[in-house]
C-alpha cells in the first residue's frame, strides 16, 4: 500500500473550504510564505499581512450584523409597534446581507457545476426562513456560520504564524566581508562562496561553512532542541541557527532561496495539499451525502401532503429548513483538514517534517520499523575505544601511530588523530606509504611502523595473537621495527537516546524492529543485542536492503524505513513511510523521504508515530461528535421538536468544538 510518490507538483494551500476564499479553497493567509523565490517570498509576506488585515476588517460587518440581529430580537420581544412589515424586513435583511452575500454568491456560481455543497444548503435554508417570515432565525443561521468561519480562519492563522515565527524569522540583511571591511547587504544578494560575518546573538541568514575556530549555536528553530550545538571550523552552519558565543565568519554554501530553511518552509506549506485517507473519505462522503439530505428535505416538505390531514406547507417547510441546516457538513469540512494541519504544525515544532497529512495517517499503521545503523542508531563518528600496547611508553605509541595516520583522510585515521590530540606533531615522520587494502607503512623518529589490519602484518611476516581477529570492533594492529607492538580498537558509539527510542516504539505498538547496515555483521549484531532489536543484518549493499524490505512487505507488514536519505534512497522510496534522519543539508533526504527528522535523535521516530496517532484520534473524535449530534437533531427536526435555533447551535456549536479540539493538537507535548 505504498503512498503515491507522484502527488501533484503544483501544490495548493491548506484546503479548508470557505465562502470568502472559495476561488482558492482555504484561508490563503501566508500561502506564499515559503516560496523559494526571493521576490515571490517578499510578495507572499505582503500578501500574508494584507490577508490578515482583510480578515480583521471582515469582523466589522459581522459585528454590525450581530448588533442588528440582537436589536431586532429585542424589538420583537418588546412587541414594538413600528417594528413591523418592511421596517422589520429591512433591518433583518441588512443583517443578513452583511454576513451572507458571499455564501449566496458562491452558491449561485456553483450551480454551473455541482451545486450540492454547504453553501447551497445554507442559502436554501436561510432564504427559506425569510420566505416563511422567520427573519431572525434566517439571519442567525448565516451569522453563526460566518462566526464559525472566523474561528476557522483564526485557528489557521495562528498555526501558520506559530510555524513561521518558529522557523522563518531569519534576518533579511547580512554583513558581507569585503576587502574594505564588512558591508551590510541584502541576504538574497549574497553569492555562493562569499564570506559573511555573524555577530554574537544574531540569527544566521544563510547556510555556510564555519571559517572561525568554533562557536555555539541555538538550533531550536531547525531541530526543536534547545541544547546549544558547538560547531568547529569546517563544519556546516545552517540558516535559522542563532550564534551564541562570538563574532564568526561563514563561507556561504547555498543561496538564500536554496538554504535548508527555505526547503523546510516550502515543505510545511506543501504538506497541507496532500490529503490523508480520512480527509479524502469525508470529501467523497460529502459529495454523496449533500444531495441525499437535500432531496430528503424536499421530500419532508411535500410528501406529508399525501398523508397528513391538517397539512400546513409552512410548518413542513420549516422542518425541512431545520433539516437542511443540520445536514450542513461544516464541522467536518473545517475541522478535519485543520486537525491534520495542527498535527503537521506540532510535528514541525518537534523537529519533524511531514510532507503531507497522508503520512500522518500512515504512521499510525506502521507495525515494522527498519533502521539503518550508522547515523541513525549510532552517532556515525568513529572514536577510539581501547589502546593496548606491549611498549612501556604508551603515550609515544599512541602519538606515533597518530603521526602516521595524519597523512590519511580515512575516518579511522581521523579518529586516531583526534584521540592523540596535538602530541603527534612532535614526531619526525618520513617515507609514509599507503598499501591499498592493508594500511600504512612509514618511519617515525627513525623507527619503522606498520599500522593497519591483520593482512598488513602478515604481509611483512609479523606474528601476532590470532585471537585478536575475534574482536568485534574495528581494530588497527601496530608493529614497530618488525615486531608486534599493540592494537587500537575503534567503534561507532550508540546514540544516547537509542534505547529510549526502542522502548517508546514498542510502547506505541510497533511489533518488529529491524536494523539493516552495510557495516560488518559482527558489529551490527552487537548493537542489535545492546538495543534488544528483533532482527539485524550487516554487510548489506543498497540492493540487499531493498530485498529485505520487500520481503517484510510481502509478509503484509506496513514498513517505515529510517536512513540518511542518500545511500538509502532506494529503500526509503520503497518503504510505506520513508524517513530521513538528520537530512537537513541533504537534497536526497528532502526529495526522497516522506518524513524528515531534523535532529539526529532516533527517539523522534516514536514522536512521529505518537503525533500521527494523536492527530488521527482528534480527527475521529470530531467526526464522531459531528455525526452523533447531527443525527439526533435531524431526527428531532424532522419530528418538529427542534427549531432553527437548535439547528444553528447544534451545527455551529459542533463546528466550534471541533475547531477547538483540532487546535488542541498544537498544545500537546509528545516527548
List the catalytic residues.
Answer: 372
Provide the CB-side half-sphere exposure for 124 (13 A, CA).
Answer: 27
What are the backbone angles phi and psi of residue 18, rounded to the nearest 5°? -145, 135
| CB crowding 498-525: b at 16 or more within 10 Å, else e | bbebbebbbebebebbbbbbbbeeebbb
- Strands 208-210, 248-252: pairing is antiparallel
- Output the CA torsion sign for 145, 146, 151, 153: positive
Question: Half-sphere exposure (CA, 13 Å, Cβ side) for 554?
Answer: 6
How many whole angstroms separate alpha carbon 382 and alpha carbon 379?
8
| Contact predicate 619/340, CB 8 Å | yes
> Measured between alpha carbons, how far is 296 from 276 in angstroms, rounded to an integer?
30
Helix (H, G, I), strand (E, B) or coil at 110: helix
Cα pseudo-dihedral 349, 350, 356, 359, rounded to 10: -160
Pairing of strands 577-581, 559-563: parallel
Longest dimension (CA), the chain: 119
Distance from C-alpha of 630 to C-alpha of 332, rounded to nearest angstrom: 11
CB 590 within 8 A of CB 606: no
Give the single-character DSSP code of 116.
Answer: -
Cα–Cα distance, 632 to 619 (Å, whole number): 20
DSSP letters, 310-366, are: T--HHHHHHHHHHHHHHH--HHHHHHHHHHHHHHHHHHHHTTEEES-HHHHHHHHH-
Which cell numbers in the block locate residue 52?
490578515
Stated as kind and residue range, the H or E segment containing 626 is: helix 603-638
Residue from 369, 423, 354 nearest 531 by CA: 369
Residue with cell 417547510: 317
Count of CA atoms in the C-beta half-sphere (13 A) of 481: 5
Nearest Cα to 505, choosing from 625, 391, 366?
Answer: 366
Question: How would you write 20-58 as a 3-class SS string?
Answer: HHCCCCCCCCCCCCCCCCHHHHHHHHHHHHHHHHHHHHC
Cell digits of residue 481: 621495527
C-alpha–C-alpha distance, residues 63 and 52, integer Å: 17
Alpha-carbon distance of 565 to 473, in angstroms, equals 26
Amino acid at each position: 500500500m505504498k503512498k503515491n510518490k507522484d502527488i501533484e507538483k503544483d501544490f495548493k494551500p491548506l484546503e479548508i473550504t470557505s465562502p470568502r476564499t472559495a476561488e482558492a479553497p482555504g484561508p490563503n493567509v501566508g500561502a506564499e510564505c515559503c516560496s523559494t523565490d526571493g521576490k515571490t517570498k517578499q510578495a507572499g509576506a505582503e500578501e500574508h499581512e494584507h490577508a490578515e488585515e482583510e480578515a480583521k476588517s471582515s469582523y466589522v460587518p459581522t459585528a454590525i450584523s450581530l448588533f442588528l440581529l440582537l436589536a431586532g430580537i429585542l424589538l420583537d420581544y418588546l412587541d414594538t409597534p413600528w417594528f413591523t412589515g418592511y421596517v422589520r424586513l429591512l433591518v433583518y435583511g441588512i443583517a443578513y446581507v452583511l454576513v451572507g452575500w458571499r455564501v449566496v454568491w458562491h452558491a449561485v456560481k456553483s450551480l454551473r457545476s455541482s451545486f450540492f455543497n454547504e453553501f447551497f444548503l445554507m442559502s436554501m435554508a436561510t432564504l427559506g426562513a425569510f420566505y416563511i417570515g422567520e427573519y431572525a432565525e434566517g439571519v442567525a443561521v448565516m451569522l453563526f456560520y460566518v462566526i464559525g468561519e472566523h474561528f476557522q480562519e483564526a485557528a489557521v492563522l495562528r498555526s501558520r504564524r506559530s510555524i513561521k515565527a518558529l522557523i522563518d524569522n531569519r534576518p533579511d540583511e547580512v554583513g558581507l566581508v569585503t576587502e574594505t571591511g564588512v558591508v551590510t547587504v541584502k541576504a538574497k544578494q549574497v553569492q555562493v562562496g562569499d564570506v559573511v560575518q555573524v555577530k554574537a546573538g544574531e540569527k544566521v541568514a544563510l547556510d555556510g561553512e564555519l571559517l572561525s575556530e568554533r562557536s555555539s549555536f541555538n538550533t531550536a528553530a531547525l531541530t526543536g532542541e534547545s541544547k546549544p550545538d558547538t560547531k568547529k571550523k569546517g563544519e556546516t552552519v545552517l540558516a535559522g541557527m542563532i550564534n551564541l558565543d562570538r563574532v564568526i565568519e561563514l563561507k556561504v554554501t547555498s543561496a538564500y532561496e536554496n538554504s535548508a530553511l527555505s526547503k523546510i518552509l516550502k515543505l510545511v506549506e506543501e504538506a497541507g495539499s496532500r490529503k490523508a485517507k480520512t480527509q479524502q473519505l469525508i470529501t467523497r462522503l460529502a459529495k454523496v451525502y449533500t444531495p441525499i439530505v437535500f432531496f430528503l428535505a424536499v421530500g419532508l416538505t411535500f410528501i406529508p401532503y399525501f398523508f397528513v390531514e391538517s397539512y400546513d406547507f409552512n410548518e413542513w417547510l420549516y422542518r425541512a429548513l431545520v433539516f437542511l441546516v443540520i445536514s450542513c457538513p461544516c464541522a467536518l469540512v473545517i475541522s478535519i483538514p485543520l486537525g491534520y494541519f495542527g498535527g503537521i504544525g506540532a510535528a514541525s515544532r518537534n523537529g519533524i517534517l511531514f510532507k503531507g497529512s497522508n503520512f500522518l495517517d500512515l504512521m499510525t499503521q506502521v507495525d515494522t520499523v527498519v533502521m539503518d545503523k550508522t547515523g541513525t542508531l549510532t552517532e556515525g563518528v568513529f572514536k577510539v575505544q581501547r589502546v593496548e600496547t606491549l611498549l612501556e611508553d604508551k603515550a609515544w605509541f599512541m602519538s606515533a601511530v597518530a603521526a602516521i595516520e595524519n597523512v590519511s583522510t580515512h575516518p579511522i585515521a581521523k579518529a586516531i588523530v583526534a584521540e592523540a590530540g596535538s602530541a603527534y606533531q612532535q614526531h619526525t615522520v618520513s617515507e609514509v606509504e599507503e598499501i591499498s587494502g592493508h594500511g600504512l607503512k612509514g618511519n617515525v623518529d627513525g623507527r619503522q611502523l606498520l599500522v593497519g589490519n591483520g593482512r598488513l602484518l602478515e604481509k611483512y611476516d609479523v606474528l601476532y595473537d590470532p585471537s585478536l581477529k575475534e574482536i568485534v570492533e574495528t581494530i588497527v594492529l601496530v608493529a614497530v621495527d618488525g615486531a608486534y607492538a599493540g592494537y587500537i580498537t575503534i567503534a561507532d558509539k550508540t546514540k544516547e537516546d537509542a534505547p529510549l527510542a526502542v522502548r517508546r516504539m514498542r510502547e506505541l505498538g510497533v511489533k518488529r524492529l529491524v536494523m539493516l547496515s552495510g557495516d560488518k555483521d559482527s558489529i551490527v549484531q552487537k548493537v542489535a543485542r545492546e538495543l534488544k532489536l528483533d532482527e539485524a543484518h550487516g554487510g548489506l549493499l543498497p540492493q540487499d536492503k531493498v530485498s529485505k524490505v520487500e520481503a517484510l512487505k510481502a509478509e503484509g507488514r506496513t514498513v517505515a524505513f529510517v536512513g540518511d536519505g542518500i545511500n538509502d534512497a532506494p529503500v526509503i522510496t520503497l518503504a510505506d513511510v520513508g524517513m530521513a534522519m538528520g537530512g537537513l543539508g541533504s537534497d536526497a533526504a528532502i526529495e526522497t523521504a516522506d518524513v524528515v527528522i531534523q535532529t539526529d535523535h532516533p527517539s523522534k521516530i516514536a514522536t512521529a508515530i505518537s503525533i500521527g496517532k494523536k492527530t488521527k484520534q482528534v480527527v475521529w473524535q470530531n467526526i464522531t461528535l459531528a455525526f452523533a449530534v447531527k443525527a439526533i437533531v435531524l431526527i428531532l427536526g424532522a419530528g418538529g421538536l427542534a427549531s432553527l435555533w437548535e439547528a444553528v447551535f447544534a451545527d455551529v456549536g459542533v463546528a466550534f468544538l471541533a475547531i477547538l479540539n483540532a487546535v488542541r493538537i498544537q498544545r500537546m507535548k509528545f516527548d
